[in-house]
Structure 1
Amino acid sequence: MPNAVSPIRLIPLGWLLLGIASVQAAQETLLEDQRQTQQGLIESRKRPAPVVHETSDQSTTSPPQLTDVPKPSDSDSPSIVRPDAEGIPRERFYSAGRRAEPSLWALLNGARYAELDREIERLRREDPAWEPPAELLHWLRHHLQLAARPQPSQRTAVPASKPAPTPQQSRTLAYERDVAAAARLQRQGRSESALERLAPWETRIRKTRDVDRSMLLAWIRLGAGQVEQALADFRRSSTWRPNAEAARGELLALRRLGRDAELMAIAEPLVARWPNLRQTAMDTLRAAATDRREQGDYETAGRLLDVALALDATDRATRQLMAWNDFKREQWREAAGRFQSLYREQRDEDSARGLTLSLGRLGAQSELADLAKPDDGPLNRLWRQERAREDYDTKRFVNARHRDPESFTDLAGIDSHSLLTGLSLSWRSGESGMARLRDWRLPILIQEYRHGAVSVQARIERVDLDAGTPAPGRLVGSPTADPAAPYPFAPTTTLDDGLRPELQIGREDRLSWKAVLGLTPTQGELSPSPHGSLTLSQAGRAGAWSAKLEQSPVRESLLSYTGLRDPYTGDTWGQVHRRGVSLQGWRTLTPTWTIAGSLQAHAYTGHEVADNHGFASRVSLGYDLAQSGFDYIGLGPFIDYRHFDRNLSHFTYGHGGYYSPQQDVGIGLSLNFQTEEGRPWLVRGTFHTGWRRQVQDSSPWFPLSPDGRHHPSQEDSGLAAGFVLEGVWRLSPHWQLSGSAFIDHSPDFEQGGVMFLLRYQFEPRRALFSDDLRASVSFD
């Protein structure tokens, strides 16, 4: 059939029709997809898609991103800043706020944004350590911004008209807006601005008993310094609905107001009701106790700390504060016990220092040593440092250097061996050939050897003595019936080229000692005689004492020192020694007043000299003038007294030629000072002035064999004054120059002297100390 279509020809046509149908279906599918996509986009602007949050410790992916959604930043979510924020323990990090996070995400997915914002603010106040997840804040801000934007109509760009809000709705919106703004400003630390936004709504807050807003107002007022009003708000909120946050604010406000009695009264009941307030209560009680301690009210501080310990007897910070408070109250035994208990638990420096100081105040040095010696922690180190500091303060410089060389670098070389040379001149007034004396010592040679705290000093001096020539007829020796007759023997008037050796050894420690052994000068009328002394001393920060047992030459005249030859008989007599004890000491009475005193009792004996006994005492007060540049400087009154059984001051046979009044009383004012230690130079001195009365009784010509003839009595009174100055100068790291001078004027006599010494030290020195004052000249 020619007109018939072959089936084979129809196959391409079928495929063509099938392709056209497929393209049309695909176009319809694409249009439907575009319509649905546009509709989905429109719907997404009307309501949020559910958001499933992921915790930071499980998810590593980012939340889905939407068109024109701002990225979250730290500045968009400022953390709340609450006045007097307390430290929150780690166990609270996953408390109220963390547990509420699932419900917060549910509010977000339910589009309840205003309620979600309020809930976040409430949780921030309740749990200050908690911060909402960053993703949650991000989506909340995003949807709030979308809600605030005008929504265009789907059919036209003209916004749809909305009904005007009622006055009540406007007021409610303004209220919510100001509350949110106030909370934001409060978190930023702008309490004054926050208060301006929220204060106008105070009446509404009270009428509606809005606890959350009342709490916010209270925290804002606390931050703005309106503590009384903040306390009232906290208490009002607690009345409406008791809660831990209001109780916390009440504790903080009471502490700020200094109302310690109320704070102590409520602390335990509040903690019993809300155990999570324990740390806040402890912190406020400790802070209040610290304030009272700084004001010197240690008793109130102790009561506050007792309440804190009742809340938690194991709290270390409270126990440490109580220990220091006991120390301030001078309850040193209780303080030492607390510090020792703390140090057993944890070997920290604060407890070690408290234990060291407490036992030091108790004078329990041996107890402290027993605890510190086996210790390899800070107690041992502080004990050694404290001993070194005490040595330094009490002038035991060698010990201070050996115990703690790192802290006292200026003491380097203080224990160096040294050589000294110099001269001295001393003089005493009186009648020529008798009481007058000139004492030259040239040269003076000294070698010092130091081994740790032990020092050895060898000294030798060349001595020249000059008493002058007695006038004819003076009562010297054994005058006959005619004292004006010529002397059969030349009277002794000088001593030339005498040598005086001396050896001194001592040890510096808490109980220091010094021993001296020497001879009187050679070339005298009498052979040299030995003399010596032993001195024990102890010094502390609050006082010092020393005791001296001695046999010493009386160096007041040629007769008393080396003896004379009788110009009538040729016999020799004199060379007086005193044997006895001397005590002296000082002690602080108050931080500004010091009392000092001395007591001496001696027996006086000599060759062919009558025996005698003497007693002397002195008491003085010193007021600390506290001047910069001085180690000490004190001014105060003094009174002294001196008495001898017999007047043996004359120069006839049997007399000793030394001042021995039956009454010598002085009263006056003295100034004592020393410049600062550790300088290139140092000066120490005493000035005194006052009134003195001196009485010397009549005495026989020959005390050993009286013949009825007597020297007349003598009484003098009037002005007395004098000074003693000592100084040392650092010429170079190895060389020092020291010197001294003194003058003593009284109604009956005058005396004075000067001395200079040049010292070479084998080790270099950086500074000078009172231990370097080597030159000292005086009459005994």
Structure 2
Amino acid sequence: MIRTPLLLRALALSAVIGPVSGAALSAAGDVPEGARREGVYTIGIPRAEAVRTMDRVAEVQAATSPSGADVRNIWKLGADGHWSEAASGLKARRQAYPGWKAPADLAVFIAEGQRDAALRHALEQEDWAATLAALGPPVPGRCEAPFRVWARITALAGLQDRQQLDAAYAGAVATCRDTALVAGLLARAPADLDTDGLERLASLPILTGHADPTIRAARRTLAAEARYRRFAADLAAGNVDAALALARGSDDPRLLGQAGWQVLATDAPGAADFFERALGQAETSDLRRGLVLAILRTGDLDRAETAIHQANAPADLADLAGQVALGRAAAARAAGQWDVALQAAVRAAALNPALAPDADALVGGALLDQAAGAYQTGDYVLARRLALAAASHDATRRAGRMRAAWADLQLGAHSAAASEFSALYLAAPDEESAEGFALAAEKTGDLDSAAAIARAIGGPLGHKVQALYADAAFREGDYLTARSRAPDRYETLDGIDRAWVRQAVTGRRQGGTRGENRLTGLVSVTSVGTSAGRMRFEGGVAVYAIDPGQSNRADIRPSRETVAAPYLAVSREGDTSLSARIGFSPLGGPASARIVGEVAVAHALGKGEGEARVFARPKTDSTLSLVGQHDAATGQAFGRVVETGAALRARMPVSLNDAVQADLEVTTLDGEQVEGNSRIGAGVSASRTLARDGFAYIATGPFYQFQSYDRNTNFHTFGHGGYFSPQAFHRVGWSVNAQTDPLKKWIVKADLAVAYESVREDAAPLLPRDPAPQPLVGGGNGSGVAGALEISAARRLGREFILSGAASAIASEAYDDVRLGIALTWIPGGRAGLVRADLPTDPFNPASWIQP
């Protein structure tokens, strides 16, 4: 700041002060020694004695010089500040009295007064160039009068002439001995000089070793200011390391405090050191706060609390005391000291209301931690209670509700869990709520509702639901469904949906009377299949070569036949699975071919399953029932029986490993020139599943079966059907069924049954379609033990080929039957594992051709 008014007051006094060279010309006597040392002399207005002396001289020289009164008027004009008038008066007297020599001190007095007036005017106008012109150049090695020093400093500062300003300060400090002047210059220097100028001034030798303590103190202050400015400049320029180095070598609390704040975020221990050193110089609330914050960042809560207590006014740091309390609450929570954590959190909020949200979050978090511990130990009731308590806090409301919902799921409150997870997902569709909602929906059997919500609002729920659909399908053996819903979820399903080509050959030998119920046959089945999503498609043709043998009776004339039976089949997996097949009874043979087919539907019934079938199946008991034969007497074709009907089956678990099953079938049978018939069949069974490693299932238990045909047509004369048709057939026994785990390189399935059978057959007319009276044939009762065994297996040969085979044997009172089969399947692209569908199908057992 330029101090112009102060300088003007100084110049007002300078009307009677001015520098001269040589001896003093003053009526006041000698100039004090102090003024003489500075080269400054007082010129004041002459006293009475000096006037009387001049008057005497004037009387002598009256004719050649102005009067004494005239000269005194000139002095008075100057003393009154009328320098121009005084100069004009002096000039006029010299002109009027050419031989007159004006007093030297008067001329100096007027000249100095004019210069001072010009200087004052220049300062008033802040005309710094004029000010410097009025001052003239400084005399090297000489100290100017104080007011001239200040005037020069002010003008140079106004011109912002850094070089000359530095020189003016250095020259004045080096040459002037006035302690007050030098101290004043050092005090003003920070306002005028830049950092470099301050550093140069503070380093002057005359200051570093000055004898006066006031000057030494002023110099230290100046050096500290220079250092602080250098520190601030380094920080502003990004030279943080240089700035911190200055701070480390300083004891200036300003530098130390600012350095502490600078590194607080990155070097808390270093910041604490800076703040502690600064506090060693000066205690301020800002430095104390910085120290506590730095210590808090180091995590030393005890030291932070001590630093707060050491403050002049600890109450002013209540907010930081709240942070300490909050830190103690967090530490107690981490240590599992829940009560301590809750108390400390409450205290933190009381000390620092701004920490209330954090304290609330910590309390809720502590409750959540306790809930998590209870959940992990299986105490779901306690976990739910604690989670709901956490949900009463804003910060943990959602997390608490989420944990409570998980506890509900574990407690079996699946509907409540689903409702809560649903609400959470609708509010914010995240991974955890999606996972919980999907699992709860699966438990309640309402995955479809979850899927609808996923389609409506998006988010991760859709993926979770699809994964659970896939898991459920995988568990149920619906591998195409699992693959289509989650293609990358199961590596073992790789290739399960690829197309395939299969060639199978099956041989059969059934015991009985030659030409009648004896049957020797060979079947070649060529088929191809593919899939799309949950759907499987298959088409093929079965070529039958059958030979009943030559009958010993003249009225029965069967023949060897080679016939073909094309078919198409489709199936769909799912909660409601569907299978359908359509084709022809073998084309060719004596009797006309007929359309055959079957539709089967299976659906989950709670924990059980129900199945319904409608069908038109060829009877494969004999050549007559399968393709027909010619009547020996008339040559008329008859036979080729098709059984049309419906079947129902229900299976229900009664415990974890036990289940019961019931079956019912109602059918009608007819053929070409064959007496019509009907059948009713029923069965019940119970089974226990045995868990064994490597097996998909092992089930064993008792069973009972019953069949009853309306009439007995198990003969081979004209009008009969040639199939087993007892009027009462009872079978009670025990079965064992097993299958190895699917999706391996091999799979084996085995079924074994042993039973006691009872058969009653009525006698039948020899020619049932002849209206004339006919002799009766057959009829009777029988009983005995029967057994059946069927084994099928498949093995992967490399990735693209599967070799499979089957063998079965039946021994009973009705008939004996042996069948052998082998098949080779090619899967372009390969398959990772095998499933039940890879096992051979028996072409002589229509009931096994499709499985829903």
Bin for the TM-score computed over the shorter chain: 0.5 to 0.7
Q: Any idea what SS the aligned residue of 1:102 has?
A: helix
1:624 maps onto 2:689 in alignment? yes
* Alignment correspondent of 1:521: 586
Which range moved further: 96-105 or 758-767? 96-105
Alpha-carbon distance in structure 2 between the residues aligned to 1:431 and 1:563: 17
Alpha-carbon distance in structure 1 between the residues aligned to 2:360 and 2:275: 43
User: Does structure 2 retain, via aligned residues, the 8 Å contact 1:439–1:463?
Assistant: yes
Out of 453, 460, 466, the residue aligned to residue 378 of structure 1 is: 460
* Alignment correspondent of 2:722: 657
User: Does structure 1 retain, via aligned residues, the 8 Å contact 2:551–2:557?
Assistant: no
Match for 2:476: what amino acid? T
1:726 maps onto 2:792 in alignment? yes
1:753 maps onto 2:819 in alignment? yes
Change in Cα spacing, 1:331 to 1:130, as seen in structure 2 (3 Å) is closer
Out of 728, 747, 753, the residue aligned to residue 682 of structure 1 is: 747
User: Does structure 2 retain, via aligned residues, the 8 Å contact 1:742–1:778?
Assistant: no
Superposed counterparts of 1:324-335, under 5 Å: 324-335=406-417
* Alignment correspondent of 1:82: none
Change in Cα spacing, 1:452 to 1:346, as seen in structure 2 (3 Å) is closer
1:320 to partner: Cα distance: 1.1
Match for 1:662: what amino acid? Q
* Alignment correspondent of 2:499: 417
1:308 to partner: Cα distance: 4.8
Q: Any idea what SS the aligned residue of 2:328 has?
A: coil
1:637 maps onto 2:840 in alignment? no
Change in Cα spacing, 1:310 to 1:715, as seen in structure 2 (3 Å) is farther
1:460 maps onto 2:541 in alignment? yes
Match for 1:655: what amino acid? H
Change in Cα spacing, 1:106 to 1:396, as seen in structure 2 (3 Å) is same
Relative contact order, higher structure (CA 8 A, sep 6+)? 1
Match for 2:827: what amino acid? Q
Alpha-carbon distance in structure 2 between the residues aligned to 1:771 and 1:377: 37
Q: Any idea what SS the aligned residue of 2:560 has?
A: strand
1:766 maps onto 2:848 in alignment? no
Change in Cα spacing, 1:736 to 1:275, as seen in structure 2 (3 Å) is closer
Alpha-carbon distance in structure 2 between the residues aligned to 1:422 and 1:549: 27
Q: Any idea what SS the aligned residue of 1:373 has?
A: helix
Superposed counterparts of 1:450-529, under 5 Å: 450-472=531-553, 487=554, 491-529=556-594
Change in Cα spacing, 1:314 to 1:429, as seen in structure 2 (3 Å) is same
Superposed counterparts of 1:257-336, under 5 Å: 286=368, 298-299=380-381, 301-309=383-391, 315-336=397-418
* Alignment correspondent of 2:469: 387
Alignment root-mean-square deviation, CA: 4.5
Alpha-carbon distance in structure 2 between the residues aligned to 1:735 and 1:407: 24
The TM-score normalised by the length of structure 1 is: 0.62
User: Residue deviations 1:595-654, cap 9 Å, x none?
Assistant: 344332211112232222212233333323221112222223322222222222233433
Where do 5+ consecutive residues of structure 2 fail to align?
1-208, 213-252, 264-270, 278-295, 315-320, 348-355, 847-852
Change in Cα spacing, 1:101 to 1:392, as seen in structure 2 (3 Å) is same
1:738 to partner: Cα distance: 1.7
User: Does structure 2 retain, via aligned residues, the 8 Å contact 1:726–1:775?
Assistant: no
The TM-score normalised by the length of structure 2 is: 0.57
* Alignment correspondent of 2:808: 742
Match for 1:331: what amino acid? A
User: Does structure 1 retain, via aligned residues, the 8 Å contact 2:620–2:844?
Assistant: no
1:291 to partner: Cα distance: 5.9
1:304 to partner: Cα distance: 5.0
* Alignment correspondent of 1:364: 446
User: Does structure 2 retain, via aligned residues, the 8 Å contact 1:534–1:548?
Assistant: yes
Superposed counterparts of 1:226-245, under 5 Å: 244=343
Change in Cα spacing, 1:63 to 1:512, as seen in structure 2 (3 Å) is closer
Alpha-carbon distance in structure 1 between the residues aligned to 2:360 and 2:658: 48
Change in Cα spacing, 1:655 to 1:409, as seen in structure 2 (3 Å) is same
Which range moved further: 724-733 or 311-320? 311-320
Alpha-carbon distance in structure 2 between the residues aligned to 1:533 and 1:524: 23
Change in Cα spacing, 1:606 to 1:275, as seen in structure 2 (3 Å) is same
* Alignment correspondent of 1:613: 678
Change in Cα spacing, 1:289 to 1:449, as seen in structure 2 (3 Å) is closer
Match for 2:420: what amino acid? R
1:352 to partner: Cα distance: 0.5
Out of 495, 505, 514, the residue aligned to residue 432 of structure 1 is: 514
Which range moved further: 586-595 or 657-666? 586-595
Match for 1:103: what amino acid? H
Alpha-carbon distance in structure 2 between the residues aligned to 1:366 and 1:405: 20
Match for 1:422: what amino acid? A
1:776 to partner: Cα distance: 3.3
Change in Cα spacing, 1:583 to 1:245, as seen in structure 2 (3 Å) is same
User: Does structure 1 retain, via aligned residues, the 8 Å contact 2:301–2:327?
Assistant: no
Alpha-carbon distance in structure 2 between the residues aligned to 1:55 and 1:342: 48
Out of 395, 404, 408, the residue aligned to residue 486 of structure 2 is: 404
Change in Cα spacing, 1:245 to 1:371, as seen in structure 2 (3 Å) is closer
User: Residue deviations 1:673-719, cap 9 Å, x none?
Assistant: 22222211111232222333233233333444473633343323332
1:102 maps onto 2:308 in alignment? yes
1:338 to partner: Cα distance: 0.7
* Alignment correspondent of 1:344: 426
Alpha-carbon distance in structure 1 between the residues aligned to 2:827 and 2:478: 19
1:587 to partner: Cα distance: 4.3
User: Does structure 2 retain, via aligned residues, the 8 Å contact 1:726–1:776?
Assistant: no
User: Residue deviations 1:430-465, cap 9 Å, x none?
Assistant: 222222212211x32223344444444332232111
Where do 5+ consecutive residues of structure 1 fail to align?
1-25, 30-50, 67-89, 109-121, 132-186, 188-218, 235-242, 249-273, 473-486
* Alignment correspondent of 1:58: 261
Counting matched residue pairs gives 561
User: Does structure 1 retain, via aligned residues, the 8 Å contact 2:801–2:826?
Assistant: yes
Larger radius of gyration: 2
Alpha-carbon distance in structure 2 between the residues aligned to 1:774 and 1:309: 59
Match for 1:734: what amino acid? E
1:384 to partner: Cα distance: 2.2
1:550 to partner: Cα distance: 1.0
Alpha-carbon distance in structure 2 between the residues aligned to 1:449 and 1:434: 40
Alpha-carbon distance in structure 1 between the residues aligned to 2:729 and 2:826: 43
1:655 to partner: Cα distance: 2.6
Alpha-carbon distance in structure 1 between the residues aligned to 2:260 and 2:505: 88
Alpha-carbon distance in structure 1 between the residues aligned to 2:606 and 2:796: 28
Percent of pairs with identical residues: 24
